[in-house]
Structure 1
Amino acid sequence: MARRLYDPGPVKRALRSLGARVVLLLTVALLPIGAIALYQTHEVRQQAELRVALALQALTESAVRNERTMLQNADGVMAHAGAAMALMADDPVTCTQLMQRFLSGNPEFVFFAFSRTGERSDCMSSADPDMRGIAQIESSFWDKPERNVTADFRGRGGEPLIIMTYPVTRSDRMIGALRLAITLSALQAPSNSLEEDGEGPVELITFNREGTVLTSTTGLADVAEKLPRDDRLADFVGQNAFSFTGDNNKGERRAFALVPILPGTLYALGAYGGSTASLGPVGMPVPAWVFPILMWVVSLIVAYTAIEHLVIRHIRRLQREMLEFTKNRRPPEPSHAPDKPQELRDIDAAFLTMTETLLHDEAEMENAMHEKIVLLREVHHRVKNNLQLISSIMNMKMRKTSDPETIRILKRLQKRVLGLARVHQGLYEAQNFNSLDITDLANAILEEMEQMTADSRKPVQIIREINPVALFPDQAVPLSLLLSEATTNAIKFADAPEGDTPWIKVEIYADEPDHACLVISNSIDMTTPETAGNRGLGRQLITAFNSQLEGELNITRENGVYKVAVRFKVASVVPAPRDY
């Protein structure tokens, strides 16, 4: 009987496959390499971003170089003037001359003035009425006097001016403030256009400590749209140079670079677009983790393809050959695949040798089995012939004797001998010695019994209900003998009331999966007492045959029916030989 292999299902079968395990092991092997690659890619990206950020800061520094030089120069001038004002602030004439001298030495400045604390200015480089308003310092400045830079549009002809305010102290006491005006055109003259090579900022904005925009290379009309959306300019005050990315208020993606012009007072903010808007390295638009993933996927594809081509497809072919050999015992054809690994060639050769050995051994076993079957058929045939010879000898003895009792005993003995002969005839006619269907054998025995009752003066009706039951010969023989003996007794003692025909009923059927039953019933005349013959040799033989079957014997006599019932377990393997 072929063993049925456990089927784990398609999912577990796929997970247990060679390909899946190779993928798992390769994933574990590539995990450290992937982690190193991810770390290195991250580091390279960070270094590239840092270089881009530094480059943007350098570009912004270059774009505001002229403004820084001029404003730092102005800051130095105001520092020297502040020191002088501490000595001559009380002399307006000398102060005015000093303002004019400072202005003549620095033609980029258009106005210079000193104002006492809370008073109008009486010390200025020019008495031009258009400029006198610039000298007046707002009262809010005196509440918190700090160096500051603002924009003013009160220059000659409405020309924009950049106003620098510088507090002046004497002995740590505020005495006034200096104001210096620079025209915007003079401040931006050397850098009035962006870089011609396209790498300069899209917008360049300067703002003071309050976050007020002073200048913009694209004009002040729409400067609010060019500022960072999520940051206030005042929040950048006090910080060193740095770069960041974000959207402006117009929704455009920009990279911003902040550069201090006068730390704590004036700052420049450059906005960059194009490939620099992400602060990422050029040519790396994808995240850093994509490259290790791609490396892992490509490695898996290459490894799985190699395993599939070199191993798995040959194993599948070998599996098909094994299944084909299991079904029809056809040996496989030798494989001559040139790309097959040597180890698989050795497995193929071993399998081919195994199939040839199995076929040779099976052929020898079939020959030996055939010889045994022929021998067993001959044995059963000769035993049947010998039993028939004994029956013939008994016939000769019965013809030579005139004693009725002797004749009766010999006939009874002859029936038992013929019953044995019938069993051996059924055995040598059977196609399978390991499993014998009791149906044909039982019907043949009952047909002979019917023939005997037909020839006798006492007709008996025989009712048969024989169902197929497969038995090993070691159980079929005692069951057939028990059937013959019990049926003979039933025919002998079958009786019925006046006017009725005696009958016997024979039943053979399977009871539950592993049991079988033989039931022989016959009619009796309840007015006739039980005879002593029912406890004679026939009963002893029935008990002996039941003992060989290891069955349960039940004999009853009620309601005009005499019943012999035997229930036994059908052997699932060939029983061991026993001596009786």
Structure 2
Amino acid sequence: MRNLSLAWQIVLLLSLALLPIGGFAVFEAVRTSGRNETLLAAELLRVANRAAEVERLEIAEGFGSAKALARSAAVASGDRAQCSAELTDFINASTRYVFAGFIEADGFLRCSSVGDVIRDFREDEGFRLQIENPTRTVTVVESGAVSRQAVLIVSHPVIVDGAWRGTLSLSVPRDVVRLFDAVDDSVGELQVALVDDSGQFLARSDYAIEQSWWLPVGLADRATEPETGPYVFRENDTRGTSRLYAYVPIVEGELAGIFSLPNTPGNATGLATVATAIALPVSIWILCIMLAYFAMRRLVVDPVRRINRSILAFKGGNRGFAIRPLPPAPGELGDLGESFTEMARTVNEGERELSNLVEEKTVLLLEVYHRVKNNLQLIISIMNIQLRSTTSERERATILRLRERIMGLALVHQRLYETPSLTAVPADGLVSEIIQNLTEGGDDETGQAAILTELDSFPMNPDQAVPFSLLVTEALLNALKYTCHQKDDARITVQLRLEDGTVHLLVENTIDPDVIDSDSLSSSGIGHRLIGAFVLQLAGRIERERTESLYRLDLRFDHVTPSDAPERIGAPGRQGLRRVS
């Protein structure tokens, strides 16, 4: 959650808080939807049973009429003319039936309500069943053999003196089947169809074939199931939509009715039912989440972002943007924004004053470095005048060494004056310039040896640069003094390294034992004592080594970066350059 914005985190927490309530609402909605479907199924079954009962009465009336005609003397007499007249009079007197006929035992229809018409029914499946088991039947056909229209046929066996003489049939047009007129309007427009015992559709409330899409699929398999009596089931129609159906037998084993409600929201199921049930609670949940999100954006997130932009601007140095007034924000956030703006103004003013103070002190420090350097340069000039007027070689050598020491000190102040930071001196440049001053400004006895340098570049703090420059000057003066000038391999090697926070200075020069006396390199001279004092001020370690042809000075001390100088410099420095007696 750390990578999410504040608004989304609050939305997520609020979603988790509302989840139990939403889950309970969805559960109740689904359960209510289930109860509604149960009630709807019960109502559908009630209306279907009422409609089927009306049709049972109509079919029973048809059986009664067929039975009465089958027992009439005209039909039983075998007189075809008298039989046809009887059936014709019956049809003319009835408003329900359109055809009446008597199929004799040999399978031919010779007696009917339409006069001299003869039809062969020997290959008819229904007639074959009558031969095997004479009984009353009800069938629906799309086109009657004589009437040439969709009819419901009610048949009754004709028994004379205990012998089966044939079957008498009455045809009822499907458009007057009372099943479709017996629908209860209390449940809306009901869709109805008739099926036989094999699941074949016999009659529909919509006569056009294209209007039969609502009929269930797989009804033939359902019709063969052992379940009997009226029941309700859910099945997909030919369009793949789930619908609620009622199956009600009208004539057991012969005829049944299929009933279904139009596909209204109350008649949906499966995913549609669940979606309908959870639509309202989910909509309320989404509305709450959106309201919480936009409220948090307006009341919390946007003010926090404005304060954050001001903080980032303050951090990046854009103080003008940071100190400008923030737009009004609610409650504590408004107070926080005003407090930050006031703090930014105070800090900005303090920094401006501090910057002016630092600039003044910088100018003053530059002036100090410049004046110190000028004063030291004045002393060097006076010593040069004294050097030109002296005739004693001993005094001349003493003045030269003293001048070089002062020039090393002046060089540090010159570099500090030229450095932008005023707190760091480039160590390699300092050593290089000391070497250049000693080799170019010395007398004829110094400056003939080859000088090899290997210098690392790193900054040095002034508190270390001053004693370091004086130490390098003293070491190089000694090296130049005692270097063998007559040999071709006379050389001075100067190495400066910074390794793991330690400064390593190596000054190595060739020597000629025949030229140097035994006390020249002893530790009793003033140069050696000065070097020891500088090493003490640097808190370093020095090693000296002499061979027949080489003299080596090895110095190591801890490097102090300019940023650490106020904390680390001073322990040795508090002693200062002690007076050497």
- Equivalent residue number for residue 545 of structure 1: 534
- Structure 2 residue ranges without an equivalent (≥5): 66-93, 101-117, 158-163, 576-581
**Which of 17, 21, 24 in structure 2 is aligned with 1:29?**
17
- Residue identity matched to 1:67: E
Task: Judge conservation of contact 1:459–1:502 (CA < 8 Å) in 2.
Answer: no
1:506: how far off?
Answer: 3.7
CA distance in 1, matches of 2:53, 2:432: 124
Instruction: State the secondary structure of the residue aligned to 1:64.
Output: helix
CA distance in 1, matches of 2:326, 2:41: 64
**Which of 327, 347, 355 in structure 2 is aligned with 1:337?**
327
1:522 corresponds to 2:509: yes
Identical-residue share of aligned pairs (%): 28
Task: Judge conservation of contact 1:228–1:246 (CA < 8 Å) in 2.
Answer: yes
- Residue identity matched to 1:337: P
**Which of 466, 474, 485 in structure 1 is aligned with 2:463?**
474
CA distance in 1, matches of 2:205, 2:386: 146
Task: Judge conservation of contact 1:259–1:269 (CA < 8 Å) in 2.
Answer: yes
- Equivalent residue number for residue 228 of structure 2: 238
Residue deviations 1:293-335, cap 9 Å, x none? 4444443333323322333233333222222222335243543
- Residue identity matched to 1:352: T
- Equivalent residue number for residue 41 of structure 1: 29
Task: Judge conservation of contact 1:244–1:279 (CA < 8 Å) in 2.
Answer: no
Residues 414/335 of structure 1: CA separation in 2 closer, same or farther (3 Å cut): closer
Task: Judge conservation of contact 2:448–2:485 (CA < 8 Å) in 1.
Answer: no
Task: Judge conservation of contact 1:245–1:277 (CA < 8 Å) in 2.
Answer: no
CA distance in 2, matches of 1:221, 1:404: 139
1:247 corresponds to 2:237: yes
Residues 69/436 of structure 1: CA separation in 2 closer, same or farther (3 Å cut): same
Residues 516/59 of structure 1: CA separation in 2 closer, same or farther (3 Å cut): same
Task: Judge conservation of contact 2:51–2:179 (CA < 8 Å) in 1.
Answer: no
**Which of 332, 335, 339 in structure 2 is aligned with 1:350?**
339
- Equivalent residue number for residue 576 of structure 1: 569
- Pairing of 1:373-388 with structure 2 (within 5 A): 373=362
1:483: how far off?
Answer: 0.6
CA distance in 1, matches of 2:337, 2:317: 19
CA distance in 1, matches of 2:265, 2:342: 72
Instruction: State the secondary structure of the residue aligned to 1:269.
Output: strand
Instruction: State the secondary structure of the residue aligned to 2:442.
Output: helix
- Equivalent residue number for residue 442 of structure 1: 431
User: Structure 2 length normalisation: TM-score?
Assistant: 0.66
RMSD: 5.7
CA distance in 2, matches of 1:71, 1:463: 135
- Pairing of 1:97-136 with structure 2 (within 5 A): none
1:62: how far off?
Answer: 4.2
CA distance in 2, matches of 1:382, 1:215: 123
1:231: how far off?
Answer: 3.8
- Residue identity matched to 1:353: E
1:361: how far off?
Answer: 2.8
1:547: how far off?
Answer: 4.5
Residues 458/386 of structure 1: CA separation in 2 closer, same or farther (3 Å cut): closer
CA distance in 1, matches of 2:361, 2:347: 21
- Residue identity matched to 1:35: G
1:458: how far off?
Answer: 5.0
1:489 corresponds to 2:478: yes
Instruction: State the secondary structure of the residue aligned to 1:518.
Output: strand
- Equivalent residue number for residue 519 of structure 2: 532
Residues 533/523 of structure 1: CA separation in 2 closer, same or farther (3 Å cut): same
Tell which deviates more after alignment, 385-394 or 425-434.
Answer: 385-394
User: Alignment length, in residue pairs?
Assistant: 511
Task: Judge conservation of contact 1:205–1:217 (CA < 8 Å) in 2.
Answer: no
Task: Judge conservation of contact 1:523–1:560 (CA < 8 Å) in 2.
Answer: yes
- Structure 1 residue ranges without an equivalent (≥5): 1-11, 78-106, 112-129, 166-176
- Residue identity matched to 1:351: F
User: Structure 1 length normalisation: TM-score?
Assistant: 0.66
- Equivalent residue number for residue 492 of structure 2: 504
- Pairing of 1:171-570 with structure 2 (within 5 A): 183=170, 185=172, 191=178, 199-207=188-196, 228-232=216-220, 233-235=222-224, 237-248=227-238, 255-261=244-250, 267-271=256-260, 275-276=263-264, 279-280=267-268, 287-288=275-276, 289-328=278-317, 330-331=319-320, 332-335=322-325, 337=327, 340-370=329-359, 372-373=361-362, 408-409=397-398, 412-413=401-402, 415-427=404-416, 430-454=419-443, 456-457=444-445, 459-461=447-449, 463=451, 465=453, 468-498=457-487, 500=488, 502-508=490-496, 510-512=497-499, 514-525=501-512, 531-536=518-523, 537=525, 538-551=527-540, 553-556=542-545, 560-570=549-559
Residue deviations 1:415-456, cap 9 Å, x none? 4355444434544564434322234543443343234424x4
- Equivalent residue number for residue 172 of structure 1: none
Task: Judge conservation of contact 1:482–1:545 (CA < 8 Å) in 2.
Answer: yes
Residues 183/192 of structure 1: CA separation in 2 closer, same or farther (3 Å cut): farther
1:21: how far off?
Answer: 0.5
